[in-house]
Structure 1
Amino acid sequence: MSDFAIGLGGLGAMFVLMILRMPVGMAMLAAGYFGTLILNGSRSANALLVTETFSATANYSLTVVPLFILMGNIASAAGFSRRLYEAAFAWVGWLRGGLASASIVGCAAFAAVSGSSVATAVTIGRVALPEMKRFGYSDALATGAVAAGGTLGFLIPPSTGFVIYAILTEESIGQLFMAGILPGLLLTACFMAAITLVTLVDPAAGPRGPGVPLPERFLALARALPLITVIIVSIGGIYLGVFTPVEAAGVGAGLVIIMAVAAGKLDRALAGKAVADTVRTTAMLYLIIIGASVLNPFLALTQLPATLGEAMMSAGLGPYGVLLLVVLAYLVLGMFMDGLAMLVVTIPIFFPIIIAVGFDPIWFGVIAVIVIEMGMITPPVGLNVFVVKSVARDVPMATIFRGVLPFWCAMAVCLLLIVLFPQIALVIPQAMFR
């Protein structure tokens, strides 16, 4: 059997293990270890397992992951996320579909401290869905807005997706964080435009909320100011070169803890739960990274990425034709796989191809993250849809999937704009690192 066939067999075995509900990280680790065992013997496989596991977990840059996760968990436990939603509600809730737009804005703001799409969807969903139900919003629009808004946690820095992409491709985490800012704001605006269109077609789907006097709007904004300050300090510090991403994560987590304790919002039980949730999430992410670190050398040994790259290049499709194939592959995989799993499995295969056709690696990081976001709301898996279902138990899955369709189209429009105008993603990192 050829090395290439062994590589394909290893990937097939990995997907079978995932279907059988083996954790993603373990499935990748098993495929990489046993594939290397078949190709090079037990000595090489054991050495790979030991060295790659140590080097992956000892990577200093990965420290950013648990720190930002802790920051988001503490902010949620202390109730700061509710203040973000209340501020957004005060400013845009009076518009038609305004509560859904407030959910999007709240998700965008909370994404800037959590770095997780699941945490963003759950946290804002618990606050926003009861309010939209109280004001008579359609279940489809309400749940669709929260499911789509949650995906912003994967794009707006500090994004876990960008951290893992940076580790896999050896790109700068700081540049990727900066590259996500304008696309994140653009996607937020596209989501709000989608809400406007939905409510123009069906005004009953998103009735106007109550008007809020201007002094009360500023009061709501002032109550959300502590968390907004943390966002500005941590992200602004990276942009100005005051902090590295890891230092910014540490400063942000420290500020949130201090504010929560000072406000009397953080007791021993809440702190323990936030830390335990952080440890569980971090362990899951580290296992995925370890699995990817063992799988990637195996794929390189089989020449699978190089062979696929040569096949795509020789097809004569041109750079954008190759990009279209990559995007289509992501959309198909998104129907069945979790976003992080897609990222760690596909980047070692697609990244060399994208670089070979001349695309910017930072720009492609943004493209990959947005397409993976689309997978988070694409049936039949649609991870964020299942997350929202856990909050809105009385809403059928079909209704939620119908509700996310306008937002999926909005993401496609955003993706097209970034492909046509790459500077949307590149202008800030280029200005920062020139």
Structure 2
Amino acid sequence: MEIAIAIILLVLFLIGGMPVGIALGVSGSVGLWLTVGTDSMLGILRTAPYEEASSFVLTTIPMFILMAEFMNQGQMTQKLFSSAYRWFGHLKGGMAISTVMASAGLAAVSGSSTASAAGMSSIAVPEMRKYGYDDKVSVGVVSVAGTLAFIIPPSTILIIYGILTESSIAKLFVAGVIPGVITVIGYCLAIYLWVRRRPEVAPSIGRFGWKERFSSLQGIWPVLLLALAVIVAIYTGFVTPTEAGAFGSFCALMIVIVLRKINYEGIKKALSSTIQITAKIFVIIIGAMIFGYFLTITNSIQNIINAIQSMDVNRWVILIIIVASYLLLGCVMDQLAIMFLTIPLTFPVIIALGFDPIWYGIVIAKTVEIGLATPPLGLNIFVASSAANVPLGVGFRGAARLIVADFIILVILIAFPVIVTWLPSLM
């Protein structure tokens, strides 16, 4: 009964527009009060939030956000798009493909999907409009390409998964490289086929010379250098994944200072933006933790595990059910909230069934990524549509073809786990 009341409250709060972290915290607190009484509930609320949020491992999140903010203030996003445009602009749908390539580069230093979508919206959409691209193409591509930050390291989602499951964040980062490359290729192929079938949505643009192409690379070396430095530092053991965010932030700051791409005001803006984003994430962490305590006390997690394990079906059927549930949740919930709320439930089941934890982390990151561009929540669609000043329906229709590519890639990753596990096995 208590579980039903807490879940109903959570759903009502979310439908009413209450922030996800607050909704989780309040409904979890009510559930605790109904289950263990006032004194025990207050005891948990006095100690548990601080104990969870003060974890040293969680410092990874604000540090990677700060690294991205330093690079954004240094105007690296514009140079990424400009270089990608000169290399791929002559292809069918070349500017859209350039947006995917630039988003991949931005993902490698941001770890934030929404930040990637917002950054590319202000740069790529106006350029595509200038050359006659349909808004469905420009907004849809920017929205979906932003989700690359969930799979390409340093992904915030992979960091959170590693923290929740005590899995190696370094292996998760390395495991995300090949799926990230496959996703980029899948998006580019989907755009190419879309424009080949309907040329009017993306007019052709002239070809750039080789001199212009190679000269454009001069502007993106700081991003490539930073991404390479962080990955190599983690892979070689020079820094731990927890320290990698601070290492990356320091490197990013040094790069933009040496290149004179940032001033005092830019540093202030980067710090302010990092504080705001981090505060939102930690509210979700604390709220999800309170709700998680409630589920643990009521033995809900163990009951679900026992029920699933007692099902007389193939383990792959159970995996498909779990993945389908994540896809549905992604349509109506925030991705961070999904991770904090469900991983403690599903991870023990996956391990009991004998699946690889690193592979499962990549599959789940890919799955929740899709929810960022699917209705009705589709946060990236909201961000890109708002920046481009177009109706939400235009963004969702434009994203549909790339979402199909996402589903195909997800099936491939599930069917062939070696794609994910090969690189980590070399570490």
Interval containing the TM-score (normalised by the shorter chain): over 0.9
Alignment partners' CA distance in 2, 1:169 and 1:29 = 21
Q: Is the 8 A contact 1:85 1:103 kept in 2?
A: yes
Counterpart for residue 160 of structure 2? 164
Aligned residue in 2 for 1:115:
111
SS at match of 1:113: helix
Q: Give me the identity figure in percent.
A: 36
Q: In the aligned structure 2, how far is the partner of 1:10 from the partner of 1:431?
A: 45
Q: Give the 5 Å matches for 1:25-104.
A: 25-104=21-100
How far the C-alpha of 1:204 sits from its partner, in A, is 2.0
CA shift, 1:49, in A, is: 2.1
Q: Alignment partner for residue 311 of structure 1, among 307, 314, 326?
A: 307
Hey, what's the Cα distance between the residues in 1 that align with 2:173 and 2:51? 23
Aligned pairs for 1:393-412 within 5 A: 393=389, 395-412=390-407
For structure 2, list consecutive stretches of 5 or more residues without a partner in the other structure.
none
Give the counterpart of 2:172 among 153, 157, 176.
Answer: 176
1:151/1:373 contact within 8 Å kept: yes
Match in the other structure for 2:186: 190
With over 3 angstroms needed to count, the CA separation of the structure-2 counterparts of 1:52 and 1:176, relative to structure 1, is farther
What is the alpha-carbon root mean square deviation over aligned residues? 1.5
For residues 183 and 58 of structure 1, what CA distance do their matches in structure 2 show? 32
User: Where does structure 1 lack aligned partners over 5 or more consecutive residues?
Assistant: none
Equivalent of 1:206, from 186, 202, 207? Answer: 202
Match of 2:343 in 1: 347
CA distance in 2, matches of 1:90, 1:251: 32
Distance 1:137 1:192 in 2: 16
Deviations along 1:146-198, whole A, 9 cap, x unmatched? 11100111111111111221222222222221221111111111111101110
Moved more, 381-390 or 268-277: 268-277
> Do 1:8 and 1:304's aligned partners in 2 also have CA atoms closer than 8 Å?
no
Partner of 2:5: 9
Cα shift readout 1:30-88 (whole Å, capped 9, x = no counterpart): 22333223222333323322332122122111111111101111111210111111111
> In the alignment, which residue of structure 2 is the partner of 1:377?
373
Q: TM-score, normalised by structure 2?
A: 0.96
Work out the CA distance in 2 between the residues paired with 1:177 and 1:343. Answer: 17
Match of 2:353 in 1: 357
Alignment pair present for 1:246 and 2:242: yes
Contact between 2:109 and 2:154, CA under 8 Å: does it hold in 1? yes
- Normalised to the residue count of structure 1, the TM-score between the two structures is 0.95
Given candidates 415, 420, 423, the residue that maps to 2:415 is 420
Deviation at 1:229, TM superposition (A): 0.2
In structure 1, distance between residues paired with 2:52 and 2:423: 29
Letter in 2 for 1:397: L
Q: Which residue is equivalent to 2:316?
A: 320
Superposed CA deviations along residues 179-230 of structure 1, whole A, max 9, x for unmatched, are: 2111111111111110111011112222333212112211111211011100
Mapped to 2, the partners of 1:269 and 1:426 lie a distance apart of 43
Kindly provide the amino acid, as one letter, of the partner of residue 310 in structure 1: N
SS at match of 1:376: helix
The answer to whether 1:335 aligns with 2:331 is yes
- Cα displacement (A) at 1:11: 2.2
Query: CA 1:170/1:44 → structure 2, altered by over 3 Å: closer, same or farther?
Result: farther
